[in-house]
């Protein structure tokens, strides 16, 4: 993409703002439903991954793997997991082989909560009137955008002033 001298710096012309505003709106829309489950939105995201992984492999997932999947660092993830453990939804256990490695498992209550949470996405989309095909297309487009932007962060740094 080339830098255009006449490109608008108006807030409403910024993709980053639209993504930020949409993310906040979705989080706000989920809040009443998640309150009934006793979860915050970040806790819900962690539970989604743990439900996805539950029973998929004989090995217990690690905090590190969860952090990579959620794109969160351990400083953010550790208090979130401690709270889920206090709620009786998750168990954390240090590896006997390497005590720096912490394994995660769902408690029975954590497994059962999945049934209550199952309909949240559909309910949100139905309540908002969003077309499911449009939502799927948007998600796919955001996957592409995320992959491209993550590719930028892995590329060699460039001088913003140019050559």
Q: Is residue 142 part of a domain?
A: no
Q: Is residue 56 in some structural domain? A: yes
* Range of the structural domain that residue 99 is part of: 39-114
pLDDT tens digits for range 138-152: 999 999 999 999 888
Residue 2 has pLDDT above 60, yes or no: no
pLDDT at 118 over 50: yes
CATH number at residue 93: 1.10.10.10
Q: Is residue 19 part of a domain?
A: no
Cβ-based neighbours of 96, under 8 Å, separated by 6 or more: none
Q: Is residue 102 part of a domain?
A: yes
Report helix, strand and coil shares of the chain as percent, to nearest 5.
65, 5, 30
What is the tens place of the pLDDT at every residue in 74-114?
A: 899 999 999 999 999 999 999 888 878 999 999 999 999 99
- If you compute the radius of gyration of the chain from its CA atoms, what whole number of angstroms results? 19
Question: What is the tens place of the pLDDT at every residue in 31-48?
Answer: 999 999 999 999 999 999
Which residues, 6+ apart, have CB-to-CB distance to 89 below 8 Å?
47, 106, 107, 109, 110, 113
Please, what sign has the CA dihedral across residues 158, 142, 39, 110? negative
Q: What percent of the chain has pLDDT over 70?
A: 91
* C-alpha to C-alpha distance for 53 and 61, rounded to whole angstroms: 8
* CA 137 to the chain's CA centroid: 18
Write down the mean pLDDT value for the chain: 88
Residue 13 in domain: no
Flag whether 84 is in a domain. Answer: yes
Q: How many domains, the chain?
A: 1
pTM: 0.84
Is 155 inside any structural domain? no
* Residue 10 counted as domain residue: no
**pLDDT (0 to 100) of residue 99:** 79
């Amino acid at each position: 993409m080339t830098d255009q001298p006449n490109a608008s710096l108006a807030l409403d012309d910024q993709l980053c703002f639209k993504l930020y505003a949409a993310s906040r709106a979705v989080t706000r829309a989920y809040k009443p439903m998640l309150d009934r489950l006793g979860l915050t939105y970040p806790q819900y995201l962690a539970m989604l991954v743990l439900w996805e992984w539950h029973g998929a492999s004989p090995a217990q997932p690690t905090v590190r793997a969860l952090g990579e999947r959620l794109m969160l660092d351990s400083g953010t993830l550790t208090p979130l997991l401690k709270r889920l453990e206090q709620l009786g939804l998750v168990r954390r256990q240090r590896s006997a082989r390497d005590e720096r490695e912490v394994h995660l498992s769902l408690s029975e209550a954590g497994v059962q909560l999945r049934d209550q949470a199952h309909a949240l996405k559909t309910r949100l989309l139905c309540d908002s009137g969003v077309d499911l095909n449009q939502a799927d297309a948007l998600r796919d487009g955001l996957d592409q955008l995320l992959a491209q932007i993550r590719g930028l962060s892995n590329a060699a740094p460039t001088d913003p002033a140019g050559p």
